[in-house]
Chain A
Amino acid sequence: MSHLQADVRSRAEELVALYPEPRSALIPLCHLAQEQDGWLVPEAVSEIAELCGVTAAEVRGTATFYDMLHTEPVGTYAVAVCTNIACLLGGALELLEHAESTLGVRAGGTTPDGVFTLHEAECLADCDKTPCVQVNHRYVGAQTPDSFDALVEDLRAGRLSDTIPNHGTLVRVRRSVGLQADAAAIKSERAAVAAEQATRAAAGGEKKA
C-alpha cells in the first residue's frame, strides 16, 4: 500500500517520467515526501526507493548528504539565519545570538512545541539585504533583533501562512506537461538537419563553424 497520498503519488510518478533514468527523481521525490510528512519517514523512503529503482539505504545515503533533507522530525518553520561573510559584516552573529535567546534553542535545535527549528545557514544568496533570514526557504528580508521578534510572533499567530507554506513545501507550482520531444521526432529532425547541411556544404553556400 502506498504511503504517499494519491495526489502526491501521482506527482511523484510524473516526476520520475521526466528523467532518462528514474534515480534522477530521487531528490525531487524527497522534497515531495517532506511536503506530505515534514520529514523523510521510513515508509516514504521505501516508497521513493521503489519509484527510483534503488534501495532504501541508497535513498537515505543520498538524503543525508543534503542540508534540506531531513531524516528526523523538524519544526514547522525552519528559520535559517545566514552568518556567512556578507551577513557577518552586517551583524549576523549578533542576530543569531538574539534568535537563540528569543526561540530558546541553540542553532540546530527545535523548540519544544515543534514550531521552530533554528539553523545557522551558509550564504543564502541575498547579500544586499543583511543579515539575511529565510523561513522555510522563503526570504523575509534583512532582519534586526526587533523585526526578528515580530516575525516570530507573526509566524506563531499564523499571519504569514499565505506567503510561507509549511515546512517541506518547496514548490507550489506544478509542471503543466510531460516530455514532448519524442525520440522518433528527434531522430528524423537530426537526419533532416544533417541532410540540409550536406546540401548546403555541397553548394558551397554555408561557411562551416
Chain B
Amino acid sequence: MAITDAPKIITARLGYDDSFTLERYLATGGYTGLRKALTMTPEAVAAEVDAASLLGRGGAGFPAGRKWSMLRKNPVTYLVINGDESEPATFKDHMLIEGDPHQILEGVLVSAYALQVTQAFIYLRGEFALGLERLQTALNEAYAHGAVGSNIFDSGFSVDIVVHPGAGAYICGEETALLESLEGKRGFPRIKPPYFPAAIGLYGEPTVVNNVETMANIPWIVNNGGAAFAALGAGRSTGTRLFALAGHVRNPANYELEMVKTTFRDLIYAPVLGGGIRGSNTLKAFIPGGVSAPWFGPDQVDLPLGQDEVGNAGSMLGSGSVVVMDSATCMVRAAWRITKFFSRESCGQCTPCREGSGWLERIMYRIENGGGREEDLDLLMDLCDNISPGVAWPPQQTTICVLGPSIPSSIASGIRMFRDEFLVHVKEGGCPFD
C-alpha cells in the first residue's frame, strides 16, 4: 500500500529483473512517449512539460519548462544530462540509471526533439561502472531500434546521444563544472554571469543541462499530459519525486512519493516506507535534502515533502536525500565527516571554500578527538561567517559556486541544535559516544 494513490511515474518498471532491457521496456509501454512526441510540434511538447510544472530533480529545483523556454530566444545547440550524482546519501539516479536506462534515453530524446537539438550528452559519474555499461547497452539497442540516430522512427528528426564518463569529482555535479569537464578540463565551476549555460554553455553555445531524474519523468508527461502530472502534489511541487532514505531507519531505500501530500514522518516511520528508527533508539535529527542542507530536529517531522514547505522552514529538499540520525549518533562526528567531505571536494578556485573548509575540518577533528577548546565554537561560527556571511538560509555566497556556502550548514546546525554536546566533547576531552 502506498501512502497516497499517486501512480509510480518513474519506478514502475523497477520490480522486473530485466527492467533495463529493451524487451522489457517495449513490453511496458516504452518509447510510446517518443512516438507521440514526434507527431506533435516541438513547441507543443515543450508546452506539456511547462504545464507539468516539473521542477528539476537535481538539487536546485528550477522548473524544467522554464529552463527550456529561456532558450527559445536563441536556438539551443546542446542538451546535456547531469548524471554525476555524488551528493552524499543520494542514490536515486544510480538506481534509475542501472534499473531503467531506456526511460532516461526516451526522456532525453523527447527533450532533444522539443528543443530541436541534434546532439545530447549524458555525463555519468565515473564510479558508476555498471550504470555506464547498462546505459551504453541501452543506447546501442535504441540505435538499432531506430529510436536514436538519423531520421528516428521515420519522423525526419535526427539526433545523436553520447554517454560520457566522468572520473571522480563531486564538483562536476555543478552544471558549469560539468561542462568544463565535458570539454576535457579540470572541473572548475564557471563564474555566473556571464557563464549561464543557457547563454554560454558547452563550447560557448547555448546549452540546456537537466538532471537524470528530470529526464525520467518526461515520457510519462508526454503520454499522460502535463496537466495529469501537475494534478499530483501541491503548489509549486508537482508530481512524484524519488526520496533517498538513508541512515538509522529499518528500511533504507529509494521511495517514489507524491510531493507535499507525504510528510517526513510518513517517509521515516510508515511501515511500508522507512519503518521507523532502527533498534530501540529514537530520532535525534535528520538532514532533509543532502548534506548541503541545514538539519531538522524531531519537531519538524510533520513537514510535507515539498520544495517551498521545506524551504520556508529553513532548509531545502535539495537532492531528495533524507539522512536519519538516531539518539546514539555523535553529532560532532557527523558534522566533522560532512565538513571533511567538502574539504576534500572543494575545487580550490575560491579562498573562502578552499581554505575555510580545511580549517573547519581540522577544528571539528580536534573537538571530536579531545583537543577542542570552548572558544572553538565561536571560531567555527566566525569561519562559517567568512564563507557565507550571516550563516543564514538561503545562504549568502562569497564563492564562484554553491559548494562554498553549503559548507557551514552542518556545523551551524550542529552548534545550534546540539551546543551542549559540543561542549561535553571539550570538557571531557573526547567523544562521549566512544
Say yes or no: B246 contacts A21, CB within 8 Å: no
Interface residues of A in 46-101 (CB under 8 A from B): 52, 54, 61-63, 65-69, 80, 83-86, 88-89
Distance of A175 Cα from B140 Cα, bound (Å): 6
**B184 in the interface, Cβ–Cβ < 8 Å?**
yes
Interface residues of B in 86-109 (CB under 8 A from A): 86-91, 93-94
Beyond A123-B87, A127-B246, A127-B321: 10 further Cβ-contacts under 8 Å?
Answer: A23-B184, A27-B164, A65-B187, A68-B168, A84-B337, A130-B246, A136-B129, A172-B133, A181-B150, A185-B158
Q: How far is the CB of B14 from chain A (nearest CB, A)?
A: 13
Interface residues of A in 27-50 (CB under 8 A from B): 27-28, 30-31
**List of B residues within 8 angstroms of A170 by Cβ:** 126, 129, 132, 165
**A202 in the interface, Cβ–Cβ < 8 Å?**
no
Interface residues of B in 312-328 (CB under 8 A from A): 321, 323, 325
Distance of A206 Cα from B344 Cα, bound (Å): 53
The residue on B at minimum CB distance from A92 is B337
Contacts A24-B184, A84-B341, A193-B116; A127 near B150 (Cβ below 8 A):
no
Interface residues of B in 129-177 (CB under 8 A from A): 129-130, 132-133, 136-137, 139-140, 143-144, 148-151, 156-160, 162-170
**A176 in the interface, Cβ–Cβ < 8 Å?**
yes
Interface residues of A in 158-177 (CB under 8 A from B): 170-177
Interface centre among B127, B128, B133, B291 (most CB of A within 10 A): B127
Q: How many residues of B contact A (CB 8 A)?
A: 83
Cβ contacts A to B, 25 pairs, < 8 Å? A27-B126, A67-B169, A69-B167, A84-B88, A85-B287, A85-B341, A86-B247, A89-B246, A125-B127, A127-B91, A127-B244, A128-B252, A128-B254, A137-B126, A138-B129, A170-B129, A171-B129, A176-B144, A179-B119, A179-B160, A180-B149, A181-B119, A193-B41, A209-B43, A209-B50
Say yes or no: B127 contacts A65, CB within 8 Å: no
**List of B residues within 8 angstroms of A25 by Cβ:** 184
Say yes or no: A88 contacts B93, CB within 8 Å: no
Say yes or no: A173 contacts B133, CB within 8 Å: yes
> From DSSP, what is the main secondary structure of chain B's interface residues?
mixed
**List of B residues within 8 angstroms of A192 by Cβ:** 156
Q: How far is the CB of B189 from chain A (nearest CB, A)?
A: 13
Contacts A192-B156, A209-B47; A89 near B94 (Cβ below 8 A):
no
Q: Which of B148, B184, B253 is close to A128, meaning CB atoms less than 8 Å apart?
A: B253
**A117 in the interface, Cβ–Cβ < 8 Å?**
no
**List of A residues within 8 angstroms of B347 by Cβ:** 65
Distance of A207 Cα from B143 Cα, bound (Å): 33
Say yes or no: B125 contacts A171, CB within 8 Å: no
Interface residues of B in 30-61 (CB under 8 A from A): 41-44, 46-47, 50
**List of B residues within 8 angstroms of A172 by Cβ:** 133
